[in-house]
Amino acid sequence: MAWLVAFAVSHIVLAIFPGDDPTGDGPWSYTAYIVYDLVLVGISIAGAVVASATVRPWGRALPRWTVLTSLWIGSVLLIVRGIPGIAENVLTVTGITPHGLLGTINGVAADHSTMEFWSGMAINTYFFLGAVVLVPATVSYARQSRMA
């Protein structure tokens, strides 16, 4: 749940203080950026409620399939985002794939001295840790709720 709260808070902060160019020179508008951020905040809050439902007495009143389906969806999303991200981190830092798994846009190897590189590393690691925490929690809930 702490992972989800931190994720929600970070996106609330990004919505309030978006920086110089929140759209990243993309084809979307500032409004789309804010809507996207707020959707992520909503999903995070819903995820925190679901995570709480697995350990709080009021959670037993919810249908098992709704909690379990939500947990599995979250687990799959974090696996799909986290594992390739951490793999790219390791491969890029070690120099095995200096351009990343799919290459860089401009064909130049990743510059390890930039804040952009290390913030990307931190974000990839954060999603990987989310998967490391949520997948076992999901499996544990599936087993325990089946026995109850």
pLDDT in tens, 63-92: 999 999 999 999 999 999 999 988 888 888
Give the model's pLDDT for residue 63: 94
Question: Is pLDDT of 116 > 90?
Answer: no
Give the model's pLDDT for residue 14: 85
Question: Is pLDDT of 22 > 80?
Answer: no
Taking residues 103-132, report their average pLDDT: 83
Enter the tokens of residue 54: 């697995």
CA separation for the pair 108, 131 (Å, rounded)? 30
Give the model's pLDDT for residue 88: 86
Give the model's pLDDT for residue 70: 95
pLDDT in tens, 95-115: 888 887 776 656 777 788 888
CA separation for the pair 141, 71 (Å, rounded)? 9
Taking residues 125-130, report their average pLDDT: 92
> Under 8 Å CB-to-CB from 83, ≥6 apart: which residues?
128, 131
CA separation for the pair 19, 31 (Å, rounded)? 14
Give the model's pLDDT for residue 18: 81
DSSP 114: S
- pLDDT category at 49 given cuts 50, 70, 90 is very high
CA separation for the pair 31, 100 (Å, rounded)? 31
pTM assigned to the model: 0.80
